[in-house]
Amino acid sequence: MVNELAWDGQYSSEEFEQKYTYNKKDLGAAWSKEHTTFRVWAPLASACSVVGYKEGDKESKEQLFEVPMEPSEQGTWAAEVMGDLHGVYYTYKATIRDEQVEACDPYAKAVGVNGDRAMVIDLARSNPEGWGEDQNPNKELAINDAIIYELHVRDFSIDEHSGMQHKGEFLAFTEQGTTNEYGQSTGVDYLKDLGITHVHLLPVYDYGSVDERDRDSAFNWGYDPKNYNVPEGTYATNPYDGEVRIREMKQMVKSLHDNGISVIMDVVYNHVYDAGSFCFNQLVPGYFTRISKDGVYSNGSYCGNDTASERSMVHNYIVQSILYWMEEFHIDGFRFDLVGLIDIDTINELVREVKAIRPDVIFYGEGWDMPTVVTKNDCKMAIQMNSQLTPDFAYFNDSIRDLMKGKYSDVTEAGYVNGAKGKVDELKGNLMGMPYWAPSPAQVVQYSSCHDDLGIYDRLQIASKGADKETLAAYNRLAAAIVFLSEGIPFIHAGEEFLRTKVNEEGKIISNSYNSPDYVNKIRWNQLHDEVCAETRAYYKGLIAFRKAHSALRLRTAEEVRKAFYFMPALEGEAIAYQIDAREIESEQADQILVILNPETTTTTITLPKGKWDVFVEGKQAGTNAIATVEGTVEVPPISTMVLVQ
Ligand code: CA
């Protein structure tokens, strides 16, 4: 339902905002043993009531009560219902311009199946044992120290060889001692062994595209938010009981924390699953969403609608939602989907409010410049080019991604790692963690692939037709070396470290697998047994360990990087060598680190700066134990990286 108020500018007018901005944080249902207070923001309503139900399923009609709500401050309506209402499902009924709507609570903290009805909850009952002591195991790390692993909850465990019992569920993350068919570690043990510091989970809030009554009937990444402050039901052992998904998500977080791994949530505030039926828009028609003067939804997200983050109550909503996940679920970082659609005031405020409580929480997002219709003048969006205006917020670096493997828009194009020429100059700034748009390496997420588009290995297969597996793995190692040996924040897509490929049953590579079946998306744990895959995994693990051992690779400011970095001139072909002078870098044992990237199909000979050098990365090997000691000149084999330390 698109309402004229949305596009005549009233919602975004100063007058409307003064009259109707509600700044307190008590919207939703506040439970106590004696009574529950409901408060909803519905400034256009002429009447409101709260309806209690026995079941969360919208097909079930058994009503427990309908209590009228009283108009209250700043466009809110409130009611108090006596008794212990924990476990009671509810909706709001509102009369708006003579029409009656019934909607889920936009501020719901628990919901029934498919998120159609909210549930009153005493949140303390959803806490797993030991929750009070649970905390970020990596709270001392700065964002540059993070090693991020992007993972979909279902992909993680759904493979028949995953060894995990709770396939496709949050609880799979609580299982230990799990193995594949060959007895190799899988699951959380595997993640711990790899050495990553942060797991970044694809959407785990309640999304709309998979029927929670029949979760195996469809697959989705989940970029279609339905209830922002509630976990997704298909990942729970029971999606009907609103308490279960909350407890199980907390159990997942706690288990990861107990294993030394921090948890990042992928959040999608930029659009909703369906703007018309989204509960906020039902109760305040069109308010949550940008609508152009012609009365059509702005669609910079290419998902059908864009969130009007510039409006005061959407702004408050996003800020409070992030605070809630951080406080209630102990989330350690947030990855913002299409953050280029969200205004910088909202981003800066939520970062400020979170950091005031927990400075260890990290933030990054997709800062692409999207064609959206903002409802206020002079709104600046959180895009790469505005990164200076959002200093504690990092952005994905598509420059290094495309330099490494070729432009995303042409899958047959090669990149630096598989033979493209002329990339050296641009790559240098990117290796320093300073692409043209970035003021600091602390704002640059370095990656070769993520869930979107082709994974690195599939991309290499397509662009280097006919190359054998060994050669493709060598290209892949070079890309991994660039990610882990450059300044910035390293990020990998789950399974890329053992040559994950997304193919369907006909053997066709799938580029956009957002709704492809498990066959395409699942992590194939038995692949760890394959020799080339195992070598690649060991190489990633070695690079991670090496990076963790050297703070010179984790510099936090542009100034430090400029001071320490030196590129060796006049190398053969496209080879690049850079030396990091680490003598003055805090908590760094090495004096000098020399990285040589050789994408050429021939050996590159380098004359080393004087003195003896220990080799830590060479050919297929990487790690924290010296492989050899050299001086004078070194020969760097074709398509490989060498790292030397003095
Ligand atoms: Ca759902």
- 120 part of a folded domain: yes
- What is the 279 CA–ligand 1 centroid distance (Å)? 14
Number of domains, the chain: 3
Tell me which of 551, 585, 606 is where a domain ends: 551
- What is the 483 CA–ligand 1 centroid distance (Å)? 34
Which two structure tokens, joined as six digits, stand for 558?
A: 């542009």
User: 68, exposed or middle or buried, with CB in 10 Å at 0-12, 13-18, 19+?
Assistant: exposed
- 558 part of a folded domain: no
| Residue 1 banded pLDDT, cuts 50, 70, 90 | very low
Summarize the confidence of residues 6-10 as an average pLDDT: 67
CATH of the domain at 582: 2.60.40.1180
pLDDT mean across residues, the chain:
96
- What is the 380 CA–ligand 1 centroid distance (Å)? 32
Looking at 243, 366, 402, 600, which residue is catalytic? Answer: 366
Is the torsion defined by CA of 452, 453, 459, 461 positive or negative? positive
Enter the DSSP assignment of 124: G
Which of 109-113, 371-375, 474-478 is predicted with the least confidence, judged by mean pLDDT? Answer: 371-375
Q: What is the pLDDT of residue 293?
A: 79
Which of 259-263, 283-287, 362-366 is predicted with the least confidence, judged by mean pLDDT? Answer: 283-287
- What is the 207 CA–ligand 1 centroid distance (Å)? 4
Place of tokens 């009365």: 295
Q: What is the pLDDT of residues 208-218, one digit of tens each?
A: 999 999 999 99
Q: Residue 83 pLDDT > 90, yes or no?
A: yes
Q: What is the pLDDT of residues 50-77, one digit of tens each?
A: 999 999 999 999 999 999 999 999 999 9
Summarize the confidence of residues 170-193 as an average pLDDT: 98
Q: What is the pLDDT of residues 278-326, one digit of tens each?
A: 999 999 999 999 998 788 899 999 999 999 999 999 999 999 999 999 9
Q: Are residues 604 and 486 in the same domain?
A: no
- What is the 217 CA–ligand 1 centroid distance (Å)? 13
> C-alpha angle 463/466/472, rounded to 5°?
65
What span, in angstroms and rounded, lies between the C-alpha atoms of 127 and 121?
Answer: 12
Q: Are residues 146 and 81 in the same domain?
A: no
- 398 part of a folded domain: yes
Enter the DSSP assignment of 111: B
- What is the 236 CA–ligand 1 centroid distance (Å)? 10
Residue 618 annotated in active site: no
Q: What is the pLDDT of residue 6?
A: 59
CATH of the domain at 6: 2.60.40.10
Helix (H) or strand (E) holding 35: strand 35-41
Phi and psi for 167 in degrees, rounded to 5? -65, 125
- What is the 2 CA–ligand 1 centroid distance (Å)? 24
- 413 part of a folded domain: yes
Q: Residue 2 pLDDT > 80, yes or no?
A: no
82 close to 70: Cβ distance less than 8 angstroms: no
Instruction: Give the domain extent around 56.
Output: 2-126
Looking at 337, 458, 574, 618, which residue is catalytic? Answer: 337
Q: What is the pLDDT of residue 8?
A: 61
Q: Residue 243 pLDDT > 90, yes or no?
A: yes
Enter the DSSP assignment of 630: E
Q: Are residues 150 and 59 in the same domain?
A: no
Q: Residue 5 pLDDT > 90, yes or no?
A: no
Summarize the confidence of residues 451-464 as an average pLDDT: 96
- What is the 337 CA–ligand 1 centroid distance (Å)? 18
Q: Are residues 200 and 115 in the same domain?
A: no
Residue 366 annotated in active site: yes
Place of tokens 């004696």: 34
How many C-beta atoms surround the C-beta of residue 535 within 10 A?
Answer: 18
Q: Are residues 506 and 366 in the same domain?
A: yes
Q: What is the pTM of this model?
A: 0.97
484 close to 624: Cβ distance less than 8 angstroms: no
Q: Residue 120 pLDDT > 50, yes or no?
A: yes
Q: Are residues 104 and 242 in the same domain?
A: no
Q: Are residues 415 and 280 in the same domain?
A: yes
> C-alpha angle 340/110/203, rounded to 5°?
35
- What is the 545 CA–ligand 1 centroid distance (Å)? 38
Q: Are residues 480 and 364 in the same domain?
A: yes
Strands annotated E in 368-440: 394-396
488 close to 147: Cβ distance less than 8 angstroms: no
Q: Residue 597 pLDDT > 60, yes or no?
A: yes
Q: Residue 553 pLDDT > 90, yes or no?
A: yes
Three-state SS at 112:
coil
- What is the 230 CA–ligand 1 centroid distance (Å)? 9
Helix, strand, coil percentages in the chain from 3-state DSSP, rounded to 5: 30, 20, 45
Q: Are residues 66 and 157 in the same domain?
A: no
Amino acid sitting at position 425? D
Q: What is the pLDDT of residue 413?
A: 95
Three-state SS at 501:
coil
Q: What is the pLDDT of residue 572?
A: 84
Residues with C-beta atoms within 5 A of ion ligand 1: 206, 233
Q: What is the pLDDT of residue 294?
A: 80
DSSP H helices in 259-373: 279-283, 312-329, 344-357
